[in-house]
Amino acid sequence: MFSLNNKISIITGGGSGIGKAIAILFAKQGSEVHVLDVDENAALVIDEINASGGKSFFHKCDLSQQAEVKAVVDSMTSKSESIHILVNNAGIAHVGTVESTSEEDMNRLFNVNVKGMYNCIHEVIPTMKKIGGSILNLASIASHVGIPDRFAYSMTKGAVMGMTLSVAKDYISYNIRCNSISPARVHTPFVDGFLQKNFAGRENEMFEKLSKTQPIGRMGQPDEVAHLALYLCSDEASFITGCDYLVDGGFVKLNN
C-alpha cells in the first residue's frame, strides 16, 4: 500500500522540516523526487536520499519567479512523460498585526507563499492534464482560526485554501486531484530558530508554552505530516479531492 513506484514528484522547500520529511518518505516509497528550494543546503537531502538507494534531484529555484519554475519543469518533462505529484510545501512566516506589517513584508510573504504556489501549479498542470496527477498544498491552522500577530501569514494561507478548492474544481475531469494539509505547530528547525531569535535564554520555557497550545500537549513532528501527505498523494486516496486536513493535535476543534 501507498506505493509511489514509477511516479515523479516535485517537493518545494524540501531542504528541511516538513518538506524534507516528505521528500525522504516519498523516495522511500519509490518515487523519483525532485526538490525545488532556493537554499543550496537542500542538496544535502538529495545526498541522504540517494545514499539510501533512492532517486532524487535538487533544483535551485526561486519559486516566486515563474521563469525559473518553468525552466525546471521543462527540463523534467523533456525526460519523462509527466509529473505525477506536486507538493507545494515551501513557505515563510511573519509575526505582526496589520499595523506592524510593512508593505515589504506583505509582498515578501505573498511572493513566496501565494505566487510561488501559483507558479508551480501553473507550470505543472499542462503536463498533468495528459495522465492525471495529485497536487498537495501546505496550508495552516491559520486559515481556519484567528491567530494573534499573524496577519500576513494568515492572509497567505487563506489564499492557499482558495487555490486548493479552485484547482480541484477546475481539473477534476482531468483526473487531477488537489488537496491541502493544515498543520498546527510542528517542531522544525524554523521553530528552534524563532525561539532563539525572539526568546534568547528562555527557549525551553517558550517551547513548552507553545507545545501546550495544542490540546494533545506537544508539537507535531515532520514525519506525522509526511505520512498524511503520502496517503493523499497515493492511489489509495483516489476518491479524495478538494479537501483540507487538520494535523493539529486538536488545536482547531478542541481549543474552547
pLDDT digits (tens, 9 = 90+) for 63-105: 999 999 999 999 999 988 889 999 999 999 999 999 999 999 9
What is the arithmetic mean of pLDDT over 170-190? 97
Q: 24-35: b or e for each residue (b if 16 or more CB lie within 10 Å)?
A: bbbbbbebbbbb
What is the arithmetic mean of pLDDT over 162-184? 98
- In 3-state terms, what secondary structure has residue 148? coil
Q: Answer for the pair 242, 178: CB distance below 8 angstroms, yes or no.
A: yes
**Grid cell for residue 185:** 505547530
The residue whose grid cell reads 480541484 is 168
Contacts of 44 (CB under 8 A, 6+ apart): 15
Report, as residue numbers or ranges, the catalytic residues.
153
Contacts of 151 (CB under 8 A, 6+ apart): 94, 96, 97, 98, 101
Q: Give all domains of the chain, ordered by start, each with its CATH number.
A: 8-184+222-246 (3.40.50.720), 188-219 (no CATH)
Q: What is the pTM of this model?
A: 0.96
State yes or no: pLDDT of 256 exceeds 80: no
pLDDT digits (tens, 9 = 90+) for 210-229: 999 999 999 999 999 999 99
